Structures are given as C-alpha cells and as structure tokens.
Amino acid sequence: MVPFASRGHVIKPLNELTATEIVAAIGERRATCEAVVRVCLDRVDSREHEVHAWAHIDPKTAIAAARALDSSGKRGPLAGVPFGVKDIIDTFDMPTEWGTPIHKGRQPKRDAACVALSRKAGGLLLGKTVTTEFANLHPGPTRNPHDLTRTPAGSSSGSAAAVADFMVPIAIGTQTTGSTIRPASFCGVFGYRPTYGDHRMHGIMEASGSLDTLGILARSIADITLYRDVLLGIPPEPLAKIERPHFALCRSHIWDQIEPITQTLIEDAAFRLARAGARVTELTLPAEFELLNDAHRSISSFEFARTFTWEIENHWNEISETLRGGRLQDGFTGNFARYIEAKQLADECRRRLDALMGGIDVLLTPAAFGEAPVGTPAFAGVPLYQVWTALHVPAVSIPVFRGTAGMPIGAQLIAKRHDDRKLFACAQWAYEKLT
C-alpha cells in the first residue's frame, strides 16, 4: 500500500482519505490521480474476494482516465476522486445489470445524469457496485466488511461495503425504502438520502418513481456535502456551521420494534447532545402517521409491479421467488383507488410534518433496528424507513454507535424537506459530540 506523506497531516494510505482530502492532496500536488486510483484498486484486489462489493470493475479504464486527468491538468470539484456506482445506474463504458440475470450484459449507450455530473466534476468511475435484485429484497453476494459472516444490508449493498472497506471514498446508491440509510448503518459509514425530487433520476432503474431517490455513501459529512452539490450540478459550497442546533428525539410508532440496545443508544445520544449544548426536545408523531407504513407499501408495490411489466411478461421464471411472492404479488393485488389514497395521505402528512417540526432543526431517530445480523436476512427494519421515505424528507445516517457484538449502528437524523444543508450542519455537529 502506498503511504500518503503530508505536511503535518496524519499519515494515511491514499485509499483511506476522504474525497475532500483527495481533492486537496491532488490540488496541492501531494498526490496524483493515478496514484489514488491505483491504491484504491490495490485495496479492491486484496479484499474483493471476501467482500464482493463490485458487480463490475475496470482497472484499465480507471487508470487511463486518471492518467488523462493528471496530464490534462483539468481540475473540477471532484478531481481525481474514485467513485463507485450502484449497478442500477447507467454507464456508457460498463454494463448495468440491475442485479438480475435477465439483464446480464446490458450495456447502456450513455451515462446516467449522476454519473455524467460526477465525471464532469473530475470524478473517476472505478466500477459498478453490487445491488440486490432490481434493488429489492433478494440479496447479492456482498458481505459486511466489519464481519464477513454478516449482511451489509441492501439494496445499495456494494456501495456501502466498498466505502466502508476503503475501496472508494464515495459511492452512489439509491433509496426507495431504506436502501441507503440501512446499509450505511450496518456498514458504519455516512449515508444520505436527499429531499425527494432534487436529483435527476434519468438513467437510473426506476423501482417506484414516487419514492425513488439517489443516495450517497461516504466516510464524512464534508464529502456528502461536496458530492451532493456535484450531483445537483451546482457550484459546491462548503459545509455550513450551526451554533446551537435544536434536535428532537422522535421514537415514532415503531419504537417497540427497535432492539433495546438501540433504544438505549439513541436515548443516551439525546442526553449527550443536550449536555454538549444542543437544544433537545421530543417529538411524537400524530397517530395518523402510523398509516404511512401501509401507504408506503401500497405506493411502492403498485408502482413496482407495473414498472417491471416487460420482465414479468417475458422473464417470469428468472425472477427470484422472494420478489415474485413478495413485492410483485403485493403489487398485483393492489388497487388504484388505494394507491391514490396512499399518495394523498403521504402528501398530507408531508405538510403536517413541516408544521409539527416548527423550530426543530432535525429529528433524532434510529438508522436501523440494531446491528447487522449474521447471514443475509438483509431487510429487517422496513417499517422504520417506510415512514421517513414516504415523507420525502432528507435523512442522514451517522456512524456513532456500536452494538453488543461490536458492529456499527447509526443514528438517523431527519430534516424538513429542502433543509438538506442544515441537516448536514447538524449531522456534523452531532457526529463531533457523539464520537
């Protein structure tokens, strides 16, 4: 591994730098794009046979792109940063197979907007990360890098594992239920689900268009802040500071399903934040919000079962039993009136949450029921994510806890729609106080 020697900085291997650190190192000529990419590829080489984070990886192309960037001298806000992309997101130079044998070898002719925006900013695509089948329940081969016997969670399994295992500093995932926040919690990295509708989704496999968003996996809030601006196609602004954030502990109606250790950790975090100078209150969601679990399920299943009509009609036998008997069966039996009612309820609750939150900056709530379980039962905790995803609010998971087995557990912070930047400021504040 190539050591990274800096002037007065902590010495870290290049693959352990954050994106922000890589951009600075390259900008100050303390590293080359090629060196960064090579060290990341070395890390993949030494670990991939155990972690299985990648669906496709293309060292030659990545090295060639790094060299070209080195010699061009072009510098964008993401210059020289290797990134991974969930394999439901189109890339013109690598296949995009959606985690299903049905689309084996599928080769798009263009990049999805998020990939093109990353490359435009100087990012170097290292490869495509493993997704569960159609970004739904049926798991891929990825394992949790902290304990290979455990699940990394899904559906953005490979993106979370690759970032956690220091193969890339940042990766793009997606979230329709908990597909970014859950693997971020299980793998001990930062995960971000944006306000619904902010990012262009073209070139990304649609699962449930009324709920799908991009997701970012990274090892710092500064990186998420930077990468969000890149993916919005706007000039990056540094992470804002907040003086005395107002957190509200929100247990929500699924609190009983949360593991006791996680309950304790979250409640304890609320005390510690208060002690560190935050204003900390509690928010109880109105009873009507319990209906959001069913609403999320009605919307996502109804849409999923129609989005994949071509696969259902032409490749039924190549779809997993998990998906056929689960989401699809659910979607076939759904009716349109219930689907519309669910969307109207979600819309109404979104407005109510704005009012309920008043002067609260962010809500504090669990990012998972508990630690990553052994095996691949990747999808505990669905009810936890349904509520927030249906509300279209931005969410961040910060890696601040350890469970009884020593595995990571995240705290989830939730802001009002469009308060993404404030969310980052509060997340950074909380992360500093809780670690």
C-beta of residue 147 within 8 angstroms of C-beta of residue 75 = no
List the one residue from 303, 319, 366, 428 that touches a second copy (CB under 8 A). 303
Letters for 120-139 (x = contact with a second copy by CB under 8 A, - = none) are: x-------------------
Determine the distance from the C-alpha atom of residue 98 to the mean position of all C-alpha atoms in its chain, rounded to a whole number: 17
Q: Which is nearer to a second copy, 27 or 197 (CB)?
A: 197
| Secondary structure (3-state) at 177 | coil
The one segment of 8-16, 226-234, 263-271, 401-409 that binds a second copy by CB under 8 A = 226-234
Q: Report if residue 307 touches a second copy, rule: CB under 8 A.
A: yes
208 is catalytic: no
Q: Supply the DSSP string of 77-133, one letter for each residue.
A: TTTT-EEEEETTB-BTTB---TTSGGGTT---SS--HHHHHHHHTT-EEEEEEP--G
Euclidean distance between CA atoms 261 and 6, whole angstroms: 40
| Secondary structure (3-state) at 121 | coil
Site for a second copy, residues 94 to 113, rule: CB under 8 A: 103, 106, 109-113
Q: Report if residue 275 touches a second copy, rule: CB under 8 A.
A: no
The site for a second copy, by CB under 8 A, has a size of 40
Give one word for 361, left, alpha or beta, with left for phi > 0 and alpha for psi -120 to 50.
Answer: alpha
Q: Which is nearer to a second copy, 180 or 307 (CB)?
A: 307
| Annotated catalytic residue within 179, 300, 301, 320 | 179
Q: Which is nearer to a second copy, 147 or 206 (CB)?
A: 206
Q: Report if residue 336 touches a second copy, rule: CB under 8 A.
A: yes
Burial class (CB in 10 A: 0-12, 13-18, 19+), 66: buried
Helix or strand holding residue 213 (H, E): strand 213-218
Site for a second copy, residues 414 to 433, rule: CB under 8 A: 418
Q: Report if residue 354 touches a second copy, rule: CB under 8 A.
A: no
109 is catalytic: no
Question: In terms of Cα–Cα distance, which of 231, 220, 147 is closest to 194?
Answer: 231
155 is catalytic: yes
| Secondary structure (3-state) at 191 | strand
| Secondary structure (3-state) at 268 | helix
Q: Report if residue 240 touches a second copy, rule: CB under 8 A.
A: no
Q: Which residues are catalytic?
A: 86, 155, 179
Which residues make up the interface to a second copy (CB under 8 A)? 92, 103, 106, 109-113, 115-117, 119-120, 197, 200-203, 205-206, 209-210, 232-234, 303, 305-311, 313, 335-336, 340, 343-344, 418
